[in-house]
A and B are shown apart, each in its own frame.
Chain A
Amino acid sequence: MTTTATTPFTYAKSLEAFDRARRVIPAGIPGHQGPTEGCYIPRDAFPLFSSRAEGTRFWDLDGNEYLDYMCGYGPNVLGYGDPVVDEAARRQAALEDVVTIPSTVMVDLAELLVDTVASADWAFFAKNGGDTTTLAVMTARAATMRKKVVFVKGYYHGVAPWTQKLDYPGVLEEDIAHNLSVPWNDLGALEALLREHRGEVAAFISTPYMHGNFVDNELPAPGYWEGVRRLCDEHGVVLIMDDVRAGWRLDLAGSDHHYGIEADLLCFCKAIGNGYNLAALTGRESLRETVASLTYTGSYWMSAVPFAASIATITRLKELDAPAMFRSLGTELTSGLVEAASGHGLTLVASGEPALFYLRLADDDSLMLHQRWVAECVRRGVWFTSHHNHFLNAALTRGDIRRTIEIADEAFGIVAAG
């Protein structure tokens, strides 16, 4: 492959802004979008602040342009500033947004979700993915009058204390006293655990496939989800699928539908509103009254603009058959990257679903080579993160993919040269 060598980016303005941030915000940029969480290694290869975004690209404070494969960590599913979604949001904003009583646009969206998501008989709205996973667990406990929750090892379901671990600051042992775990794809372990704790387990919670960080992502083995469904039914356990990350990219009817089952509760956020702040828990009829009985609300949870944006987003995703598009684009992109790596004697492993592909250079087990390659890509305008699954959006073109592979090829050449 012949490529034009690019000039690595520099980030003086980002660093200046970060100095300002550190003075007034703990850690400067706390959480997963900041430099301390292991997604941006080495730190000086990555800018810290963006200035604008459009379609499949964003620009940092220094004017550097990126083809963005993180999509705001998922919300950007149609393209930044999608004109159809933004127009729907503008129209709703001109009418009302946060008001004393809600707009019926909330009902419109709930109806759309019930019509679209195969397992949904109702929808309950909130703001973040963690709001919905917490609501799901509360619902399961209230419905079953049981305490324990089974997780899959390596899980991530938000940052509420019940989702964390004993060695995390600020988390009490009591917060996690009823957490149990099983390995991914291990029906035997799940069956044994449910038998050992018969009558004690309220819920099994899992993402549709294992999209953990620092490891190749693993799809469900044939029959896995059917087996989970059967075991949950046998033991009276509520099956919660955390579709916050994968939702709307694999299957518009829900990732549970994609893998051939119906979950009892399905958690959505990220792509549901193309960046407008919204989350939703959907569920089956049997849990409607339980959810209704819970004390669970928030100041902005019924704001109307994100509902309107979400209706436009889901409608547009249907028109585009976005999951099929993502599968095709993701396969083309990852195949091209794997081939480019191979051309330099390197082994790139692409795992998970193509719409949310995970990358790992398998040539050293420290992942340092992988970190160097990602850093060289970012310095040249392709935004990957060191260790996280990536996301596609519908504004991505085949020309963008070709350019991505060119830059990745140049970066492979640099790291292969040592």
Chain B
Amino acid sequence: MLTETDPAVLARVNMHAVLGALTVLAERAPEAAPLLARVDRPTVLRLRVPGVPAHSLRFCEDGVEAGERGGERVVTLMLRSPAHLNAMVDGDAQPFPVAGLGGLRFLTQVFAPLADLLGRYLKPSEADLEDPAFRGISALLTLHVAIAAVAQVANEDRSGRLSASLIPDGQIGVEVGEDIDLRLHARASTLTFDATPASSPARAVLAFRDLDVAGDVLAGRASALSCIGDGSMAMRGFIPMIDNVSRILDRVGCYLGD
């Protein structure tokens, strides 16, 4: 158990898992569509942080995706350090934007309100959670953030790398109810998160009964052990894969917990 966290790992988690969840927000949250409608032309947001590989998100009217296709308007957010990026995601610091007028308009009218909306879903109020539809989307986004963060922590964090080194090659399924089946791919002790629909059987599965259970466990409102005990969570398949992913999830909590 490491008692400290690494700002560079948190920066990757924030880039790929937290901001990466904008893609799901755009698909699922009804409030996202009017914000995306303000995108006047496809725009790429590049995040540049010293010591951390650059990452891009592509925004258009139809949604958000990771990466670039080419030919888009480019807006670059320059950050001084991983800690600067982390402070930006927490709302405690501003980046240095490199953009034209249209790009600046994109930042204020599209990106910032989308990021605020994401924050509302990821840190919901009690009142928001009373709405079943909001609660479901919140849990789904939390799930995506957590599983994407597992891949970052598995590959970059010292404790995470130890856990990942004990995971054999294969796919780890994270199932929620009958409909959601997210995959972590393990290969040579490296994990990647694959949000596309699963195309082959997982070698090990961690299953949540429903999104409420997933949301409660991943947000720390319920204990995973208790849920396995009462049957609202289950595991099957090559259990060391689940055991080590669980240890990485615990470590993710150190990065994303309050």
| Contacts from A to B (Cβ < 8 Å) | 18-19, 22, 26-29, 34-36, 38, 41-44, 165-173, 214, 365-368, 371, 386-387
Contact = CB atoms under 8 A, between A and B. Distances in A.
B231 A43 contact: yes
21 contacts: A19-B230, A26-B225, A36-B228, A41-B236, A42-B236, A43-B229, A43-B231, A44-B231, A166-B1, A167-B159, A167-B160, A167-B247, A167-B248, A173-B2, A365-B238, A366-B170, A366-B201, A366-B204, A366-B238, A367-B239, A386-B239
A19 B226 CA distance: 11
Interface of A is mostly: loop
A371 B242 CA distance: 15
B234 interface: yes
B61 to A, nearest CB: 42
B207 to A, nearest CB: 10
Given A38-B235, A43-B231, A387-B239, A169 B250 contact: yes
B226 A22 contact: yes
A48 to B, nearest CB: 9
A149 B218 CA distance: 37
B202 interface: yes
A170 B1 contact: yes
Contacts of B201: 366
Contact of A166 (B159, B226, B243): B159
Q: Which of A365, A366, A386 has the most CB of B within 10 A?
A: A366
A29 B228 CA distance: 11
Nearest to B237: A366
Contacts of A168: 1, 247
B50 interface: no
B203 interface: yes
B230 A22 contact: yes
A367 B162 contact: no
Contacts of A18: 229
B237 A368 contact: yes
Interface in B217-258: 223, 225-226, 228-231, 234-240, 242-244, 247-248, 250-251
Contact of B1 (A41, A172, A365, A387): A172
Nearest to A386: B239
Nearest to A169: B1
